[in-house]
């Protein structure tokens, strides 16, 4: 009897979903160890805002539930890269596991800041927000007037 699937009169398969799966998924989310902190990080990436304050850039990244040891910030040739790597393992001395979970994830964002100065950059993680202040290099005035003869 393998392969028997309920169908309707138009020979379309009928879902065996009882309607409770969404409810059970909400309960699983609610009772998981990291709800709601890392939910935003399970979808693609994290949100970043960049402000130009004249003589410096202010970058703010939303990274709720992330430890600073899991964050790496680099500036290379005007490219700011913020990357996060999480390696979660529930270590236990028990050997007869019925259920055991691990999670590894990484994500990064890159922003090009043409006149970013590599000296004097400050980064601080506070209440799930990574705040980075990047000074700007002064642009030399390469404009000159040429006399016409």
pLDDT for the residue 145: 84
Q: Is residue 1 part of a domain?
A: no
**Distance between CA atoms of 124 and 120, rounded to whole angstroms?**
13
CATH code, 48:
2.60.40.790
Q: Is residue 16 part of a domain?
A: no
φ and ψ of 40, to 5 deg: -65, -20
Instruction: Provide the residue range defining the domain that includes 71.
Output: 21-91+100-135
Q: Is residue 106 part of a domain?
A: yes
pLDDT for the residue 45: 80
**Distance between CA atoms of 89 and 100, rounded to whole angstroms?**
9
User: Does 20 score more than 80 pLDDT?
Assistant: no
Q: Is residue 69 part of a domain?
A: yes
Q: What integer is the mean pLDDT of 112-133?
A: 94
Q: Tens of pLDDT along 80-119?
A: 999 999 887 766 666 777 776 777 788 999 999 989 999 9
Q: Is residue 15 part of a domain?
A: no
First-last CA distance in the chain: 98
Q: What integer is the mean pLDDT of 60-79?
A: 93
Q: Is residue 60 part of a domain?
A: yes
Q: Is residue 61 part of a domain?
A: yes
Q: How many domains is the chain built from?
A: 1
Q: What integer is the mean pLDDT of 114-136?
A: 94
Burial environment of residue 49 by CB neighbours within 10 A (0 to 12, 13 to 18, 19 or more): exposed
Q: What integer is the mean pLDDT of 34-58?
A: 74
Q: Is residue 128 part of a domain?
A: yes
Mean pLDDT for the chain? Answer: 78
């Amino acid at each position: 009897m393998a392969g028997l699937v309920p169908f309707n009169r138009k020979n379309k398969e009928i879902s065996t979903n009882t309607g409770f799966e969404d409810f059970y998924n909400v309960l699983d989310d609610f009772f998981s160890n990291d709800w709601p902190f890392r939910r935003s990080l399970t979808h693609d990436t994290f949100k970043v805002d960049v402000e130009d304050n004249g003589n410096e850039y202010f970058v703010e990244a939303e990274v709720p539930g992330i430890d600073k040891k899991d964050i790496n910030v680099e500036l290379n040739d005007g490219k700011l890269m913020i990357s996060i790597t999480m390696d979660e393992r529930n270590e236990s001395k028990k050997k007869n596991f019925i259920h055991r979970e691990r999670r590894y994830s990484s994500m990064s964002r890159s922003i090009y800041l043409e006149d970013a100065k590599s000296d004097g950059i400050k980064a601080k993680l506070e209440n799930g927000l990574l705040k980075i202040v990047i000074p700007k290099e002064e642009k030399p005035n390469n404009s000159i007037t040429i006399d016409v003869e």
